[in-house]
Structure 1
Amino acid sequence: MSSELKCFWILGPVIIGAGPSGLAAAACLKQKGIPFLILEKESCLASLWKLKTYEHLRLHLPKKFCELPYMSFPQEVAVYPTKQHFIIYLEAYAKAFSIAPMFGQEVKSVTYDSYIGIWRIVTSEFIFVCRWLIVATGENAIPTIPDISGLRDFQGKLLHSSNYMNGEEFKGSKVLVVGCGNSGMELSLDLCNSGAQVSLVVRDKMHILPRDMLGTSTFALSIRLLKWFPLRLVDCFLILCSLLILGNTQRFGIIRPKAGPLELKKAAGRTPVLDVGTIAKIKTGKIKVVRNIQRFVPRGAEFAGGKMEEYESIILATGYRSNIASWLKVDLCQKDNYPKNLNPNSWKGEYGLYSVGFTGEGLFGASIDARRVAEDIASLWNAETKHVYSEPDLCVYN
């Protein structure tokens, strides 16, 4: 019973989540001299990166766009850091700012008491009450499983991309990858390089851009061009360069939407895929693109026209969704898990509620959120009377 749990008053904000977003928020608060407490359900920092990403993963964007506030990557780290380098960076970041989360604290419920103006956070062990709450659990908490008929009937190896570590166990076998975002494209490449026979399901129209253009990252180039040219003109330029570098992907079953990649990102939050070598494998036939999957069968899948293909394994690279609706009893997000407030204030809710890392802009956006949240809380912190509290060991001053 929650009424039997020991209750603690936290003088500063409570941050839920010790991934990159939570660490960024903590460091920014530290710079403002504001105490905080981080709650993390797992037993380590950045559990998604450590436990649910494949071994050969590299960051999609150059390191300068993936740095958290107040600390750069070491100079010797490659432009596109590996998973291992990023984890080392996060651990060094936590150490540099003396960030010590309370691990093993899965949040069961969060409610707001409007009568006295406090948040009440219940975990399996404690109750925490505070004036400000920062939700930093990210958009990638729960694996998304597609609603495709017959999926449970498949008798081969079935796993979500969060459980895929490397392609060695799939060498020589026929594998169907469902999902053609960055994860699906990169897992297909990793499987192909490991000797698997890979088919990639492309269900929707999509934009694929080279990771690099004109000697620089496509992301960095886009930011520079948007300072001088309208979005649609930049989109035309990106598509033209993609055609010159990657060729006409429609020939291989990958059709571009009518809206440009940046326009689509802005309007619908759909991020273009940054190619790191998958298209080259598709061109040579080493990765096969398949469309119009109708249903799964015990030994494979059925496609449009009744065509059947056998597969020994199916990997669902179908992304994740947020889990905050299951424990946050205040309506922070829309049904698609993005904050209700549109940019530039998507990080700020009501009653001292904040979010970091829910803008669909990755690590770059999380860092911006973290700075804004800390600045806003600091303005209130400096204006309000500080309260005396008990159990100071649980209110991390860092």
Structure 2
Amino acid sequence: MCNAIVIGGGQSGLAAAHALRTQGLRPVVLEAGAEPVGSWPHYYDSLTLFSPARFSAFPDVPFPGDPDHYPHRDEVVDYLRRYARTLDADIRTHHRVSTVTADNGAYTVHTEHGEALQTNILIAATGGFSQPHWPELPGLNKFAGTILHASDYRNPEPFAGQRVLVVGAGNSAVQIAVELAEHAHTTITSRTPLRYASPTLLGRDLHWWTATTRLDVLPLGPWLRTVPTTPVSDKGAYKAAIEAGNPDHRPLFEHLNTTEVTWSDGTREHIDAVILATGYRPDLTYLQPLGALDSTGSPRHRRGLSRTCPGLGYVGLEWQTSFSSATLRGVHRDAHYVVKQLVKAVRTHKHCCIPTPV
């Protein structure tokens, strides 16, 4: 019997493991990939964080380099590797979880290799970005050109000289579209207008303000998740490029066919590729046997604590508690809250097998 199991070894799983260690537990962390770095190695080459290094580090392990620089994707990967080595946790890579069952107050976690591990405390930390979201768009299934999600986009070279649509209105959509526009005829198209927010206010990074005012930790998730789009973090360069038409922005197209797009004004033109920067959804299908998910596959929870399954918690969900819940700068706060509540509940249960720290 494991005293705690964490499913997922990316930033959310590592944050959960750290929180469990502070409670005197030594969790087993099950990571499907080859190393505990989550999805970061698979993001596009030019990706940089939208928060400075000083606000993107986990407790006790600062980000290397200038604390005010914005870390690149590869810096984040290296940081997570280093952070994982600081944890006294049993991290098992190449361990993909297929399903979880429950019996008599204990969870059994089944892996694709046929292992079965039991625990009283289970944390699903595969995060809110494990499943690329492919929206239903008119004619997309008929389009014969290249279609890929932003999760599969790496750099603009394969699209040089092509006519490309980028669908979306968030940070990734704008960053990818502006990058592509230097190599391809690019349009960013979305249902909602593009909104911009400066990363600084009165000479201070916006994250300094949210940390200082503690806005970052307010439990506003249930309300903020109804906001249509998150503003694009922009010092002015992205907005200027789009207003100059490089790339241009248009309302979402009316229809696609095999080779063409039809715009709202009725004009049609040839299209070579469509890139969907349309976000992600959590993939928690392994919890389906527990009745922990609603009809859409979303977890039934309050601030990361399951509403239906005692001993089950979540870390890394978008808007789980606040707008920083699914980020490097905020995930550890949610992890410590969830772990503290789970451990307290299990230790007060008469069948508790969780050791109490001396």
TM interval, shorter chain, is 0.7 to 0.9
1:328 alignment partner, SS class? helix
Query: Out of 5, 20, 24, which is 1:29 matched to?
Result: 20
- Post-superposition Cα deviations, 1:182-238, rounded to whole Å, max 9, x if no partner, equal 110111122124x222100021245321222322223433554677xxxxxxxxxxx
Q: Which piece of structure 1 moves more, 201-210 or 279-288?
A: 201-210
Q: Which residue does 2:273 correspond to in 1?
A: 313
2:242 alignment partner, SS class? helix
Q: Which residue does 1:5 correspond to in 2?
A: none
2:17 alignment partner, SS class? helix
Q: Which residue does 1:272 correspond to in 2?
A: 231
Q: Which residue does 2:144 correspond to in 1?
A: 155
**What TM-score does the superposition give when structure 1 sets the normalisation length?**
0.77
Query: Out of 181, 190, 193, which is 1:202 matched to?
Result: 190
- CA separation in 1, counterparts of 2:345 and 2:222? 36
1:318 alignment partner, SS class? coil
- CA separation in 2, counterparts of 1:118 and 1:95? 29
Pairwise CA distance, 1:289: 0.6
Q: Which residue does 1:358 correspond to in 2?
A: 317
Pairwise CA distance, 1:323: 1.3
Query: Out of 60, 67, 87, which is 1:97 matched to?
Result: 87
Q: Which residue does 1:231 correspond to in 2?
A: none
1:135 aligns with 2:135: no
Pairwise CA distance, 1:378: 4.3
Query: Out of 101, 104, 115, which is 1:111 matched to?
Result: 101
Alignment map for 1:343-382 (pairs within 5 Å): 345-347=303-305, 349=307, 350-360=309-319, 361=324, 362-363=326-327, 364-379=329-344
The verdict on how the C-alpha distance between 1:335 and 1:263 changes in structure 2, with shifts beyond 3 A counting, is closer
Contact 1:13 1:37 in 2 (8 A): yes
Alignment map for 1:316-355 (pairs within 5 Å): 316-325=276-285, 327-334=287-294, 339-342=299-302, 345-347=303-305, 349=307, 350-355=309-314
Pairwise CA distance, 1:150: 1.8
Q: Which piece of structure 1 moves more, 372-381 or 56-65?
A: 372-381
Q: Which has the higher helix share?
A: 1
- CA separation in 2, counterparts of 1:85 and 1:284? 32
- CA separation in 2, counterparts of 1:222 and 1:183? 22
The verdict on how the C-alpha distance between 1:264 and 1:369 changes in structure 2, with shifts beyond 3 A counting, is closer
Give percent identity, aligned residues only. 27
Pairwise CA distance, 1:143: 1.1
Q: Which residue does 2:244 correspond to in 1?
A: 284
The verdict on how the C-alpha distance between 1:328 and 1:101 changes in structure 2, with shifts beyond 3 A counting, is farther
AA aligned opposite 2:260: G
**What TM-score does the superposition give when structure 2 sets the normalisation length?**
0.85
- Structure 2 residue runs without a partner (length 5+): 216-220
Structure 1 vs Structure 2 CA RMSD: 2.7
